[in-house]
Chain A
Amino acid sequence: MAKTDALQGSLDLLVLKILSRRPRLHGYTIMAAIANTSGEVLRAEEGSLYPALYRMEEAGWIRAEWIKNDTGRRARVYELTDAGKKQLGIEESRWQSVSLAINRVLREA
């Protein structure tokens, strides 16, 4: 439970960051990437991943496209837009300041 709590509000950041490194991923790969790179510490709740993806798509941060994958099935892949790159910058600096603040609290208290 603690894992998902930490993720609250930072799902967008993680998705944007992952897509900035590796474009054209579909939902499952994004989720798997979050889990893998965080050393299985962070896990996006699968039910909320797709609404978040659609929300970001409507906001214009990412764009989606249907492609045929290796197995011949249709898959919807996502990639970052210019607006998304800008948004990633904003989210990153917000995360920096928040984690800095939390660290400061931990040190002082």
Chain B
Amino acid sequence: MSLWSRISNAVRGERLNREIDEELQLHIDEAIASGRDPKEAYRAFGSTLRTREASHSIRAAGWLESVLADVRFGWRQLCRNKLTSAAAVLSLALGIGSCVGAFRLIDALLWRPLPISGSSNLYVLSRKMTGLYGRPVEDDHWATPEFKLMRDAVKDQAELIAISDADRTDITWATSGSTDDAIEKAHVVYVSGNMFPVFGLEPALGRLLIPADDRGPGTSPYAVLSWDYWNHRFGRDPHVLGRSLHVGDQNFEIIGVGPHDFTGTETGTVTDIFLPLSMNGMASEERADWHHIFLMLKPGANAATTLEPMRQHLTAVNRAFGSACSTCYRGETKDSVERFLNQTLVFNSAGAGISDLQKEYRRLLSVLGLMVALVLIIACVNVANMMTAQAAARAQEMALRISIGAGRRRLVQLILAQSALLALLASALGAFFAAWSAPFVLSLVNPPDNPARLALSADWRVLLFGFGLIILVVLVLGLLPALRVSAVRPVAALKGSEDPHSPRRLMHGAIALQVAFCCLVLFLSSLFVTSFERLQNRPLGFSTDRLLLLETVAGKGQLPVVWNQTAEALRAAPGVDSVAISGWPLLGRIKINSEISINGAPPSPTPAFFLNVSPGWLATMKIPVISGRDFSADDVSPGAAIVNETFARTFFPGQDPIGRTFERGANQPLNKIIGVTPDIPDHDLREPNRAVFYAPFNAIDDKSSPSAISFATFIIHTGGQNPLALANSLRQLIAQRNNGLRVSNITTQLDLVRDQTIRERMIATLAGFFAVVALLLAGIGLYAVLNYSVLQRRREIGIRMAIGSTRAGIVRLVTLDVFLMIALGGCAGVALGFGAARYVASLFYQVKATDADMIALPACAILLTALFATLPAVLRALRTDPTEILRAE
């Protein structure tokens, strides 16, 4: 109550003084009225001014009054230098906004705990082993029979939960009347029945899966929708319960909707449909490693003491399972089996979920975070420098304040109030920037048909971070000028002979710091931009021009002849130039390898990747045949094969591969090489070329009869520039044939290539943006400091000119220090850059931090900026008129 009245009195200080005066005046008037001599009454009362001061300080919170006064004063200062203040607020806003934006992304993807009970007790199991090529690999996929063994082994101390990846799956909804429903894509996850109970989740509608729903294959055709999917696909229709959906040839009945905020354990992907683990065909196979295993400690269990014994126990279970698996290592040598079984189990904390997106973007986001932090620091140092220059210009005023009794603390408070004003204005602006930037960056992350989705809520974590950031900025901003103030010696300053170098020394240090950080940002961004350019300009070896891709499925499969007839029908459609079929598109998500044996020998250690293609596929993709011929309609698989140059080099070194044969594994049917093509990137633009062979699309089984094909991609070269224009009519054309073929996904070859470079494109765009901002800020900072320094040294320059100093001498005098600082900062920046580049080298493509042009680029950019920034100050120095200066003295 009383504190509040003191605070409110502080705000209305003037009125309070009037009231006190009125009361005191009334007192004296009454004294006179009661017959006292007016003079005596005034004398007896003493100094009204003193009484008023004493009364005022009792009734108003003095510190608050002084703060308010400082804020008002700071505001007037900001308004006086409108341009500088606007620049300061803008650059700070950019810095704060990008920092908060980056934090939102990083927090949502990497740090925020899953909305489940006991997320800090959640771990994911993976195993470390020696991989196929002798390199260490970490695998976090497991087979269901092994999961069950492990679950039973530790059931007293912990719950094991199996959760599959969220696969984008073709589903159809049963609607009454229509039999041929459109295929949709949905993210489907198979979970063990204990997931919902162990995570402590409650249904928003109906019921969730329970352990009883996970008994055995085919017994529980139940599905649970995620709240998000229920919301955007069904508009929260409660009648969705009981509806059925088809996944492949299975029917599932919707029994419930999950809780509002739970979107699965795969951060970045929103799960649409949860199905019981045992309903997946792979759940009964001991060779299929297809889902993750999460471990949830029982409540109250001590992680420090229980985890390690449990890990050892599970390692033993894992090894026993591997040893007992009779079908797992057919044809492997005893040594390689032993090497494979030598696995180390690892528990990784999974409280924030696990996903490929996290793995892929963890480093990238930390680089991004580093860059925005650097930009913020540059902006802070910049603004602090500006304020120092202003403060130095007010050195006399400060000295006066000190000599009439203002404490140093009060002066620092004055400066902090001003920087707080700046920071608050900037953070208001920055908040808008952060609100816009995080979703924008996220939208850059994934292809449009499968975008990454994160909950980017502005919750207390973001607010807390933003608040901490503002306080940090205020302190950093205030630090430099505050140091200056506490160094002011009033007598010297008032005499006007303060050491003229001391403020400049501090500002020069700040310049070196800025240049170093700017250099680091430039260096990293030049590496990223060059990586992206090289990746984008990598020669593909095939055409992406006007190629429409119709990824098509056929239920339980259709014979090659049906596929070929459909291709023929597509060829006849207007606007279609040529049509070919391949098992899957180049640079799509699919890659399948095959063991290669030559002349019945055991499989070679290097596998080859393959793709089934129709005759004419090479021509449609504009891939030349170096020697031999393309497939003809009579060629079948196994039988004919076309190989790439790496394949030929790897398996038939120094020989002509045409006419030679290989088998896919020992004692398999022979493949005879009929042609050789150049190497092309088939799965990943970044990876070096691998051995690839192409097999005919027409496949036959052991008895030489055609085998059914359940999915393939039609590659359509269109006449028009925009291949997607034909997409709908061709999709309908396929559907109208009623031969079981249905288009499940439509894309273009160009998009598939572009999707490959999304990560690089994003980091290059952002890094380029921040590089420009950093350069701009550093330029402004340089300009401000140099300009100030020339103003300060006008007298010195005038005198030097008067006694015959050359123009070159003046230029050197003005710029030498600054360029020394730039050189110093630049070197430090490059050194920092080398360190940082080593940490993120995995994100580069054909670029090394030590390349000469990678260092030359930022160095040139900084030098050029420095030249531009120093030019006005140098010109001003040269224009100094000695007579005018000396006359003024």
Give residues in A with beta carbon < 8 Å to B: 26-29, 31-32, 45-47, 50-51, 54-55, 57-60, 73-76
B2 to chain A: which residues have CB within 8 Å?
58-60
Whether A58 and B44, one on each chain, are in contact in the complex, defined by CB atoms closer than 8 angstroms, is no
Known: A46-B46, A73-B26. A51 touches B55 (CB 8 A): yes
Partner of B59, one of A31, A45, A54: A54
Given contacts A46-B45, A47-B45, A58 and B26 within 8 Å (CB-CB): no
Please tell me which one of the listed residues B1, B20, B26, B31 contacts residue A60 in the complex, with CB atoms under 8 A apart.
B1
Interface residue B323 (Cβ < 8 Å from any Cβ of A): no
Question: Cβ of A28: which chain B residues have Cβ within 8 Å of it?
Answer: 26-27, 30-31, 34
From known contacts A46-B44, A46-B46, A60-B1, infer whether A75 and B26 are also in contact, taking CB-CB under 8 Å: yes
Cα distance A85–B47 in the bound complex, in angstroms: 32
- Tell me, rounded to whole Å, the shortest Cβ–Cβ distance linking B323 to chain A: 82
> 9 closest Cβ contacts across the A-B interface?
A47-B46, A28-B30, A51-B54, A54-B58, A46-B45, A58-B2, A28-B27, A76-B23, A47-B51
B31 contacts A50, C-beta separation under 8 Å: no
Contact, CB under 8 Å: B5 / A47: no
Q: Which residue of B lies closest to A71 (CB)?
A: B33
Q: Is B6 an interface residue (CB 8 A)?
A: yes
Of listed B46, B58, B59, residue having the most chain A CB within 10 A: B58
**B50–A47 contact, CB under 8 A?**
yes
Are B46 and A26 within 8 A (Cβ)? no
Contacts of A27 in B (CB 8 A): 23, 26-27
B5 interface neighbour in A29, A46, A58, Cβ under 8 Å: A58
Instruction: List 26 A-B pairs, Cβ < 8 Å.
Output: A26-B30, A27-B23, A27-B26, A28-B27, A28-B30, A28-B34, A45-B46, A46-B27, A46-B44, A46-B45, A47-B50, A50-B24, A50-B27, A51-B51, A51-B54, A51-B55, A54-B58, A55-B58, A58-B2, A73-B26, A74-B22, A74-B26, A75-B23, A75-B26, A76-B23, A76-B26
Within the complex, the shortest CB–CB distance from A35 to chain B, in Å, comes to 11
Say whether A32 contacts B55, CB under 8 Å. Answer: no
User: CA of A97 to CA of B20 in the docked complex: distance in angstroms?
Assistant: 36
Tell me the bound Cα distance from A75 to B24 in angstroms: 10
Nearest-CB residue, chain A, relative to B5: A58
Contacts of A47 in B (CB 8 A): 45-47, 50-51
Please judge, given known A-B contacts A32-B34, A60-B1, whether A50 and B23 are in contact too, CB under 8 Å: yes
CA distance A8 to B45 in the complex (A): 17
A-B contact count (CB 8 A): 59
Question: Looking across the interface, which residue of chain A has its beta carbon closest to that of B23?
Answer: A76
Given contacts A50-B23, A50-B27, A58-B2, 12 further A-B contacts (CB under 8 A): A26-B30, A27-B26, A28-B27, A47-B51, A50-B20, A50-B55, A55-B58, A58-B58, A60-B2, A73-B29, A76-B19, A76-B22
Q: Chain B: residues with CB nearer than 8 A to chain A?
A: 1-2, 5-6, 19-20, 22-24, 26-27, 29-31, 34, 44-47, 50-51, 54-55, 58-59
**B51 contacts A50, C-beta separation under 8 Å:** yes
A51, B58: Cβ atoms closer than 8 Å: yes
- Nearest-neighbor residue (CB-CB) of B1 within chain A: A60
Shortest Cβ distance from residue A74 to the other chain B in the assembled complex, whole angstroms: 7
In the complex, which residues of chain A have a beta carbon less than 8 angstroms from the beta carbon of B47? 47
A32 to B41, CA, bound (A): 13
- With most chain A CB atoms within 10 A of its CB, the pick from B27, B34, B50, B51 is B27
Docked-complex contact B45 and A54, CB < 8 angstroms: no
Q: How far is the CA of A46 from the CA of B23 in the complex (A)?
A: 12
Complexed CA–CA distance, A73 and B54 (Å): 24
The residue of chain B having its C-beta at the shortest distance from the C-beta of A52 within the complex is: B58
Q: Considering only CB atoms, which chain A residue lies closest to B59 in the complex?
A: A54
* A contact residues around B6 at 8 Å (CB): 58
- What are the residues of chain B within 8 A of A32 when measuring CB–CB? 34
CA A26 – CA B6 in complex, angstroms? 21
Chain B residues positioned under 8 Å from A54 (CB to CB): 55, 58-59
Closest to A69 in B: B26
A46 to B19, CA, bound (A): 17
- CB A42 to nearest CB in B, in angstroms, measures 15
CB distance from A13 to the nearest CB of B (A): 19
Closest to A57 in B: B59
Chain A residues positioned under 8 Å from B58 (CB to CB): 51, 54-55, 58
In the complex, the chain A residue whose C-beta lies closest to that of B58 is A54
Closest B-chain residue to A74, C-beta based?
B22
User: Which residues of the partner chain A approach B50 to less than 8 Å between Cβ atoms?
Assistant: 47
Give the complex CA separation of A28 and B24 in angstroms. Answer: 9
Give the residue among B20, B24, B26 with the most A Cβ atoms within 10 A: B26
Q: Which residue of B lies closest to A47 (CB)?
A: B46
Query: Cα distance A51–B20 when bound, in Å?
Result: 10
Which residues of chain B are near A74, meaning CB under 8 Å?
22, 26
Specify which chain A residues have a CB less than 8 angstroms from the CB of B27 in the assembled complex.
26-28, 31, 46, 50
Assembled-state Cα–Cα distance A73/B33 (Å)? 13
Alpha-carbon separation in the docked complex, A27 to B23 (Å): 8
Which B residues are CB-close (under 8 A) to A73? 26, 29
Bound together, the chains give a CA A50 to CA B29 distance in angstroms of 15
B59 touches A58 (CB 8 A): yes
Q: Bound complex: CA of A5 vs CA of B5, how far in Å?
A: 32
A76→B6 CA distance, assembly (Å): 18
Alpha-carbon gap, A31 to B26, bound state (A): 13
Inter-chain contacts of A29 with B (CB < 8 A): 30
Closest to B9 in A: A58
A50 to B20, alpha carbons, bound, how many Å? Answer: 9
Nearest-neighbor residue (CB-CB) of A58 within chain B: B2
Residue among B1, B29, B30, B51 having the largest count of chain A Cβ atoms under 10 Å? B30
Chain A residues in 8 Å Cβ range of B1:
60
CA of A27 to CA of B30, assembled, Å: 10
Instruction: Find the A residue at minimum CB distance from B47.
Output: A47
Residue of A nearest to B51 (CB): A47
* C-alpha spacing A50/B30, complex, angstroms: 15
**A11: min CB distance to chain B, Å:** 14
CB-CB < 8 A to B59: which residues of A?
A: 54, 57-58
| A50–B55 alpha-carbon span in the complex (Å) | 7
Nearest CB of B to A24, in Å: 15
A50 to chain B, nearest CB (A): 5
| B182, chain A: closest CB distance, angstroms | 75
> Contacts A47-B45, A58-B2, A60-B2 hold; do A26 and B26 have CB atoms under 8 A apart?
yes
Q: How far is the CB of A73 from chain B (nearest CB, A)?
A: 6
Quick one: closest A residue to B2, CB to CB? A58
Cα distance A50–B45 in the bound complex, in angstroms: 11
In the assembled complex, the CB of B41 is this many whole angstroms from the nearest CB of chain A, namely 9
**Which A residues are in CB contact (< 8 Å) with B24?**
50
Complexed CA–CA distance, A60 and B50 (Å): 24
**A47-B51 Cα distance, complex, nearest whole Å:** 6
Report B-chain residues with C-beta under 8 Å of the C-beta of A31.
27
Q: A26 to chain B: which residues have CB within 8 Å? A: 23, 26-27, 30
Smallest distance from the beta carbon of A77 to chain B beta carbons, Å? 10
